[in-house]
Amino acid sequence: MKTALIFGITGQDGSFLAELLLAKGYDVHGVIRRASTFNTDRIDAVYRDPHENRATMHLHYGDMSDGTGLRRVIAHVQPDEIYNLAAQSHVRVSFDQAEYTADVVATGTLRALEAVRDHMKAGGKPVRFYQAGSSEMFGAAPPPQNESTPFYPRSPYAVSKVAAHWYAVNYREAYGLFVSNGILFNHESERRGETFVTRKITRALGRIKLGMQDKLYLGNLDARRDWGYAGDYVEAMWMMLQASRPDDYVVATGESHSVLEFLELAGEYSGLDWKKHVETDARYFRPSEVDHLRGDSSKARRELGWSPKIGFPALVRLMVDYDLDLAKQERTLAEAGHRVVFRGSAHA
Ligand code: NDP
Ligand code: GDR
């Protein structure tokens, strides 16, 4: 049985990856942050109380800003594979929290790599390391973007991901570590954080449809993204660590759509006269925008045998369906007298 350690297990991708690895028979360990409220919603379905003695997933407290803690977790878990998915992952927020984003995303990756380097030097078993890179690293470079496209990052988040990418390459070259960079284009799901534009849209449409919300405020509708399904993308992460040698891979659908196109399709599918409900708010524009991302993932398709299964219309539909159901649950609770608070549109 292989042992995997996931930094960022409570996030969208962490939860899908944990499920994938559990289904493959892995012993799965995850690092979670201490918070004053529970932050394990996305993994609660696969978590078992360790006291019940049938635990398949183990959680450890840790933070990418705390290198000593990361070392301790690695020494304790003795993983075969580490997936570094932890990040302050919101591009807009990174302009407000630039230093923090750099510390977690760039230096946090360096801390993890240093820990792996020392762990192996001290005789620990060989570790394969996945680094969660991003299409944001390409930024202003024109599409289609592939592994040879020069990086041109346009936000503190993207600059930090570029630094993390090069740390990973350097540790591969300098110390011979098995480190692979996935350069993943946007991937969404019903578990997507509610302040990313796709989920913000589907969440709002569900609530508007049920009369629980009137307006949806958005920023730049012209930006184009290559949107895939998160469940498909975590498979590519796993495949990268099963390859015979470490490398860097773009993971994308090869198709791009504007934010407006996403909105139109989701609005039509919801059966709403959505134009009456959508307004623009300058606060959601970015100081410097990434206009057009469309990935060329032929290397991952050729060398890993990866391909996406869920296309754009199916992705939009599954998110709208899920959020319509969620809105129904909220309305039922509200009708039963519960206080249902929704902050969705207020942030980012
Ligand atoms: P999420 O924002 O959903 O999840 C991020 C995870 O990182 C959460 O588990 C979060 O914990 C954790 N985290 C945040 N800060 C810290 C910290 N200081 N120490 C330890 N853990 C921390 O992101 P996604 O799941 O969407 O993305 C996964 C990774 O892939 C990220 O690195 C992201 O930047 C990158 N990426 C994502 C893409 C996408 O389209 N989704 C595309 C390309 C790259 P908590 O739950 O407590 O907040
Ligand atoms: P992105 O995703 O920045 O591509 O980063 P996001 O969904 O936040 O933005 C996509 C595009 O939509 C525009 N937009 C808005 N965005 C948000 N969040 N809120 C709005 O109201 C809004 N209105 C318009 C944005 O300007 C942008 O052009 C995501 C994250 O998951 C990163 O961690 C990851 O690395 C990249 O995808 C690939």
Ligand 1, pocket residues at CB < 6 Å: 7-8, 10-14, 33, 35, 39, 63-65, 85-89, 104, 132, 134, 184, 186-187, 193
How many angstroms separate the CA atoms of 204 and 323, rounded?
8
Give the residue-averaged pLDDT of 110-119.
98
Q: How do residues 313-334 score in pLDDT, each as one tens digit?
A: 999 999 999 999 999 999 999 9
Q: What is the pLDDT at residue 101?
A: 98
For the chain, the average pLDDT equals: 96
Cβ atoms < 10 Å from Cβ of 199: 21
Task: Give pLDDT, residue 220.
Answer: 98
Under CATH, what is the fold of the domain 197-223+258-292+314-346? UDP-galactose 4-epimerase; domain 1 (3.90.25)
pLDDT attached to residue 233: 99
Q: What is the mean pLDDT of residues 198-205?
A: 98
The CATH number that domain 3-189+227-251 falls under is 3.40.50.720
Length of the chain: 348
Instruction: Give the number of whichever ligand sits closest to the CA of residue 17.
Output: 1
* Band (177; pLDDT cuts 50, 70, 90): very high
Q: What pLDDT does 49 receive? A: 76
**Mean pLDDT of the 129-154 span:** 98
Cα–Cα distance for residue pair 167/92, rounded to 1 Å:
24
Burial category of 26 from C-beta neighbours within 10 Å (exposed 0-12, middle 13-18, buried 19 and up): buried
Please state the rounded mean pLDDT for residues 150-161. Answer: 98
pLDDT confidence bin for 345, thresholds 50/70/90: low
Average pLDDT (198-207) is 98
Per-residue pLDDT at 50 exceeds 80: no
Q: Report residue 243's pLDDT band, with 50, 70 and 90 as the boundaries.
A: very high
pLDDT in tens, 260-314: 999 999 999 999 999 999 999 999 999 999 999 999 999 999 999 999 999 999 9
Answer yes or no: are the C-beta atoms of 245 and 179 closer than 8 Å: no
**pLDDT-derived band at 48, boundaries 50, 70, 90:** confident
- Distance (Å, whole) CA 169 – CA 163: 10
Ligand 1, from 5, 6, 13: best to mutate by most atoms within 8 Å of Cβ?
13
Ligand 2 centroid to Cα of residue 220, in Å, is: 10
The domain spans of the chain are 3-189+227-251, 197-223+258-292+314-346
Alpha carbon 266 to its chain centroid, in Å, reads 21
The band of 55, judged by pLDDT with boundaries at 50, 70 and 90, is low
* Mean pLDDT for the stretch of residues 82-87: 99
Ligand 1 geometric centre to CA of 32 (Å): 11
Sequence-ordered list of residues with C-beta below 8 angstroms from that of 291, at least 6 positions apart, any chain: 140, 222, 223, 224
Annotated active-site positions, please?
134, 136, 157
Give the pLDDT score at 347.
66
Instruction: State the amino acid at position 315 in one-letter form.
Output: L
Q: Does pTM surpass 0.95?
A: yes
Choosing from 89, 136, 262 the residue with most ligand 1 atoms within 8 A of its CB, the one to mutate for a pocket test is 89
As a whole number of angstroms, the distance between CA 267 and CA 117 comes to: 50
Domains 3-189+227-251 and 197-223+258-292+314-346 share a fold: no
Q: Would you place residue 344 in the very low, low, confident or very high pLDDT band (cuts 50, 70, 90)? A: low
Written as one letter, the residue type at 58 is H
φ, ψ of residue 279 in degrees (nearest 5): -130, 160
Confidence of residue 346 (pLDDT cuts 50, 70, 90): low
Q: Does the beta carbon of 200 lie inside 6 Å of ligand 2?
A: yes
What is the pLDDT, as a whole number, of residue 160? 99
Ligand 2 atom closest to the CA of 87, numbered from 1: 33
